[in-house]
Structure 1
Amino acid sequence: MRHLLALAIKFVMVTVVLLIVLTLSFDVSFVNTLLISLALTALSYAVGDIMIFLNAGSPENQSARNTVATLVDFVMAFLVIWLIGWLLTGENFAMATPALLSALVIAGGEWFFHLYVDRSVVPEYNNYKSAKG
């Protein structure tokens, strides 16, 4: 249940950013923006928030894990928005600027989202004790 709530929060965050940047500022259709939001949310939660964030360092070093995961989320957001946007709109280079702007804003939000994931979604991860002693 915690993961579903986290996915919903992330989807809302990504969708709001993409609606403002893609739809309102760059005239990408609402449906295309929603499709990009769905794809980006699913991929970045699985890869950036679960795989990378939780495994990029020791549980005690949240700042380093957060930095690595946020950088990965930035690159992933840029590539997903640009590539899917290009496929949906047929505009290759025209999607680069909105993808970059969106990725920057989303990466800023991801920093705080990772704090939420650490505290509320996987709090048991922070209580991890090494078997090596």
Structure 2
Amino acid sequence: MEHVKAIVIKFIMITVVLGIILSGIFGGEFSDTLLISAVLTVLAYVLGDLFIFRGTRNDTEYSKRNMIATISDMVLTFIVVWLMGNALFTDTEQTLLGALLSAIVVGAGEWFFHKYLASNVFHERHRHGSVH
């Protein structure tokens, strides 16, 4: 159940960011933004959160894992938004800029999302009982 809650939180975060940037600023259809958000949420949760962030927890310290996972999420966001934006939006002149801006803002959110995952989903604790 914790993973479902985390995925819902991630989907809401990504949808708000992409809704503001892609639909609000760049004028994309909100239905297309929702589709991009859903695809990105699933890919980023599996690849960035489960595989990279959680999967490397025994090999590297928390802050390094968070940085690697956040950068990976930013790259994935850029690629997914750029490719899907070019395929779905009618005005693709600004898709590259929209993908770049989306990647930066989603990356900032992912930094904090990983902190949430560490303490509430993966139950990681620092030596003193707090999350790194």
After TM superposition, the score normalised by the length of structure 1 is: 0.88
What is the number of residues matched between the two proteins? Answer: 127
The CA deviation at 1:55 is: 2.5
Listed one character per residue, the Cα deviations across residues 6-45 of structure 1 (whole Å, up to 9, x for unaligned) are 0000000000000100001000001000000000000000
Counterpart position of 2:42:
42
The equivalences for 1:11-90 within 5 A come to: 11-58=11-58, 61-90=61-90
The amino acid across from 2:38 in the alignment is: L
User: Cα–Cα, structure 1 residues 49 and 126, in superposed 2: closer, same or farther, change >3 Å?
Assistant: farther
Structure 1 unaligned segments of length 5 or more: list them.
Answer: 128-133
Q: What letter corresponds to residue 50 of structure 2 in structure 1?
A: I
Could you tell me how far 1:58 is from its partner in structure 2?
2.9
In structure 2, C-alpha distance between the alignment counterparts of 1:125 and 1:3, rounded to whole Å: 18
Q: What's the CA shift for 1:124?
A: 5.8
Superposition deviation, residue 61 in structure 1: 1.1
- Aligned residue for 2:17, secondary structure, equals helix
Identity rate of aligned residues, in percent?
A: 44
Which amino acid is 1:42 matched to? V
Task: Write the distance in 1 (CA, Å) between the matches of 2:6 and 2:78.
Answer: 21
Give the 3 Å change call, closer, same or farther, for CA 126–35 of structure 1 in structure 2. Answer: farther
8 Å contact 2:6–2:121 — kept in the other structure?
yes
Query: Against the structure 1 CA distance between its residues 60 and 113, is the aligned structure 2 distance closer, same or farther, given a 3 Å change threshold?
Result: same
**Per the alignment, in what secondary structure is the counterpart of residue 45 of structure 1?**
helix
Distance in 1 (CA, whole Å) between partners of 2:78 and 2:60 is: 29
CA separation in 2, counterparts of 1:115 and 1:59? 18
Using the TM superposition, give the Cα deviation of residue 108 of structure 1 relative to its aligned residue in structure 2, in angstroms.
0.2
Contact 2:26 2:94 in 1 (8 A): no
Matched AA of 2:16: V
Code of the residue aligned with 1:50 in structure 2: it is L
Q: Which structure has the highest helix share of the two?
A: 1
CA RMSD of aligned residues (A): 2.0
Q: Distance in 2 between the 1:126 and 1:83 partners?
A: 39
If the length of structure 2 is used for normalisation, what is the TM-score?
0.89
